[in-house]
Structure 1
């Protein structure tokens, strides 16, 4: 993994973006200015879904090169190293979704998350799905993303859920072979355990034991695929949850501490401030003003 850049959006480190949600843009907006070549990189904390409506090309994910179907859907799980060579003029939409957003959109059915974790290039023609409806699903998400209307976040999650259902159905139709690597698979399993148990504040050694690996092996996989330690990934998940309660509920800071598994509100305050750069109360006020 040495020398392979990690991005939020291709070419951007991600500072100042809402990394708890998703981003969607036309394929041509980023690929065209880069001569239709997306060089090797990975997204440690975000997965991508790409609708290719026109054009084509090739995509390499880890050690496998696949044709880009048109019309078709590409699924690129978090941490998968990939590069894409598009045919000039290729267009469609690319979604870059944070893992917490993926979890929220797939909360009603665990199969949605599993399908989104499988790297694949699915053709739409001949799949039995309604191609026009699939294209409209991406367009609808794009409209909600750009339109600052009431209920925007809920609408975005709902539209993304619709796209995850499409991915699940395509995965069952096409039965694509698995693409990945040992480090990536270990990171995926670790993140699944963290999602289920993060409020318990278990140390990484607890998760390593559940995964039947040493703490050093788990830490090495996290560093290789996510660019962060196992502890960092766990702490980041706690911060995401705390931010949600601070923004979307009226719970006091002490209540937020309890809801995220902290016994001592003062320690929660220090933990949050150290990682976010401001105290929980200040974060809440800034979010209300933005």
Structure 2
């Protein structure tokens, strides 16, 4: 016995320009019949919340699937999978497409070389899929935009839920973020963590979808913007605070990446903050209030 619920959508050409659109969603559990072999023209994320089953490669080799897990069904790639015929499984699936899938693949959120991804848990993914199912009510005028936004949320949730990433994220990325403002080269960062530059590049590319240089630069420039907007520190002092000993180089780099010079950015964004600029992240369940 098995139970299934699903909805399918046909977003308009205008909605496709959002970059990512949802084509369908389903919730199923029990001893589901096998799927495939078949080929689709879009992406599907199949999230196995509980139970076990199998997934077959194009040559017929079967790999066990044990929840929590993610199955990537990629456009143009044959797939064949199913729940254990005796125990079944609890599954959700989301069909989606759009040009943003290429960017998510480049960033490592979608992994063509890893169609089966073990997960630590599926709670956040279930929440994102829940948003799609609630938006799927008949006659919802915001259907396409709500479901598109939830697909973005789902991709982030699945990336964070990978079993090879702990609750606080990739340890290598944590260490780089901690040391981001030290005036070190990528090779020196790698040496501090007992890695070769090539190994560090591989780890950061897999964890953040970019090079170590770009990862460090994003952290440095983000903090530089905060200092320019919230303090009266000279640009040279801001440069030193974020790891650059040459203020002229910092200014050129800032201008090239941000699109405006540090002084001009400050003139546009800067303002005095009575009582000082807080570095504490607000609790979203208890945000600061007036009175």
TM-score of the alignment, normalized to the shorter chain, above 0.5: no
Please give the TM-score of this superposition, normalised by the length of structure 1.
0.42
Q: Greater CA radius of gyration, 1 or 2?
A: 2
Greater helix percent: which structure? 1
